[in-house]
Amino acid sequence: MGAPVHVAGTGVISAIGNTTMECFAALKQHVSGIAPLTSLNSIHKGVLPVGEVKLSNEQLAENVGVDKTLNRTALLGIHAAKEAIAHAEFDIHRWRTGFISATTVGGMDKSEIFFPPFLVDPTQGKLRDVIYHGCGATTDLITAALGITGFTSTINTACSSSVNSIMLGARLIQHGILDVVVAGGTDALTVFTLNGFKSLMILDDNLCRPFDASRTGLNLGEGAGFVVLVSDKVLEEEYLESLAIVSGFANTNDAFHQTASSPDGRGSFAAMQQALTMADLLPSEIDYINLHGTGTQNNDLSEGTAIKRLFGDAYPALSSTKSMTGHTLGACGGIETVFSVLALQHQCVFPNLRFEQAIPEVGIIPQKKFESIAVRHAMSNSFGFGGNCSSIIFSQGR
């Protein structure tokens, strides 16, 4: 690991709260944000449980002072990124500042409106609904709202996207290319993803039960999570508090199957192991793992096996906060990074709701309740389709 990169601000919006502190309160009180779908124009409305952000597009737009016709992915992203920048409490525009987002759906929520009339007649469908379809175009809407004109990029490695965005931010700072990077990810619920996961038969019709023996699938969610990353120099010159240090990360590929993880968790094992090596830490020095823990048979068994192989029986406190937020796809790494930073800041670990019985093959018992413990180093895992596995370690700030 090169020069230290610090987290100087956090912003998050998810099914359990519209700000970092609201989410923290919900995590503390074991509040799940998952409930039957209310927002989308879908046959699954009122039936499938999802983790919806409780604000409408109009409310999101009003909170951050932007046009309410922007796509929801951008609105969620602006909401969380603005919070992160405000939280960092310094003028980011004084520095070489970049913005890196991660998203899997981009402007899909609007493309879904464009598409049916277009299918009937290719001259139909409002162009304003499709112009920001691309993932990058959605990011450009966010940077425009933030006033960031420097390096801007977007990553899509499915559900591991946000961790890769934060990794890239840290590397750009370490290489001396940027001083400040706002990095994370955002994804809105869409009919497209809802039906995609439904067709794969990995959605639980009830509330998801990550790492439980009886788990039958995931609940989709939506939201955004961003952090403000700064160099040592920025930290010192701006008199900032280091909320956490990015101490290690790794991106690997399972190379096993397009949508399934290998039974032994080869990719996830390598990601966690390489992140530990970069951080120069022993497995025993990790005090909390924020699991990928989607609640699918395949992910939890694979991730659990990898953890068992790496940490043995002395695995640290671990939990899937997706039991409260749902699986927010490209945003989950950003949201869970903020939660991992909260664990370090407040010296606590978060609950894995609805756990009753350990997966027999691995026997891992996750953290069942909110608890205050010493957390020196927290690890966050994010794995995605295409075998993309990323793991990142945050250490106590100084």
Partner 1 sequence: MKAYIKGIGNISPQQTWGYNNFLDPPLEYHRNDLMAVEPDYSQWINPQQLRRMSRVIKMGVTSALMALKDAELEKPDAIITGTGYGCVQDTTSFLTKITDFNEQALNPTPFIQSTHNTIGSQIALLLQCHGYNQTYVHGAFSFEHALLDALMSLQENSAQSILVGGVDELTQISHAIHTRFDKYRREVKSTLTLFDAAEAGTVAGEGAAYFVLSGKDDTQTKACIHAVDTLFQPVQETLLAWIESFVRDRINIPFEDIDLVLLGKSGDEKADKQIDLMAKTYFPGASLGVYKHLCGEHSVSSSFALALATEILLSQHIPEPVIHKAVSRPIRNVLIYNPYFYQHHSLIFLTECHDIK
Catalytic residues: 159, 292, 327
By C-alpha distance, which of 261, 223, 260, 200 is closest to 103? 223
Q: Which helix (H) or strand (E) holds 181?
A: strand 180-187
Residue 259 Cβ vs partner 1, minimum distance, rounded to whole Å: 5
Q: How far is CA 9 from CA 154, 188, 226, 342, in A?
A: 20, 22, 8, 11
Provide the b/e sequence for 250-281 (b: ≥16 CB within 10 Å). bbbebebeeebbbebbbbbbbbbbbbbebbeb
Q: For residues 123 and 282, which CB has a smaller minimum distance to partner 1 in the complex?
A: 123
Classified as helix, coil or strand, 229 is strand
Query: Is residue 188 close enough to count as binding partner 1 by CB under 8 A?
Result: no
Nearer to partner 1, 152 or 367 (CB): 152
Q: For residues 66 and 62, give the distance between their C-alpha atoms in angstroms, rounded to a whole number.
A: 7
Binding mask 118-137 for partner 1 (x = CB under 8 A): xx--xx---x--xx--xxxx
Contact set for partner 1, span 96-115 (CB under 8 A):
104, 106, 111-112, 115
Question: Of residues 257, 346, 369, 398, which one binds partner 1 by CB under 8 A?
Answer: 257
Q: Which is nearer to partner 1, 42 or 242 (CB)?
A: 42
The tally of CA atoms less than 13 A away on the side-chain side of residue 30 is 10
State the Cα–Cα distance between residues 229 and 85, nearest whole angstrom: 10
157 touches partner 1 (CB under 8 A): yes
User: Does residue 151 interact with partner 1 by CB under 8 A?
Assistant: yes
CB of 205 to partner 1, least distance (A): 15
Member of 325, 388, 391, 396 binding partner 1 (CB under 8 A): 388
Burial call 139-149: b when 16+ CB within 10 Å, e when fewer: bbbbbebbebe
The one-letter code for the residue type at 275 is: A
71 belongs to the binding site for partner 1 (CB under 8 A): no
Stretch that binds partner 1, among 62-70, 164-172, 284-292, 368-376 (CB under 8 A): 164-172
d(Cα 357, Cα 383) in Å, to the nearest integer? 23
In angstroms, the CA 231 to CA 97 distance is 11
Nearer to partner 1, 106 or 293 (CB): 106
**What's the closest the beta carbon of residue 329 comes to partner 1, in angstroms?**
10
One residue of 198, 213, 264, 365 binding partner 1 per CB under 8 A:
198
- How many amino acids of this chain bind partner 1 (CB under 8 A)? 61
What is the C-alpha to C-alpha distance for residues 327 and 339, in angstroms, rounded to an integer?
A: 14
Question: Which residue, 253 or 347, has its beta carbon nearer to partner 1?
Answer: 253
Residues of this chain that interact with partner 1 (CB under 8 A) are 42-44, 104, 106, 111-112, 115-116, 118-119, 122-123, 127, 130-131, 134-137, 139-140, 149, 151-158, 164, 168, 171-172, 175, 177, 191-192, 195-196, 198-200, 251-259, 266-267, 270, 384-388
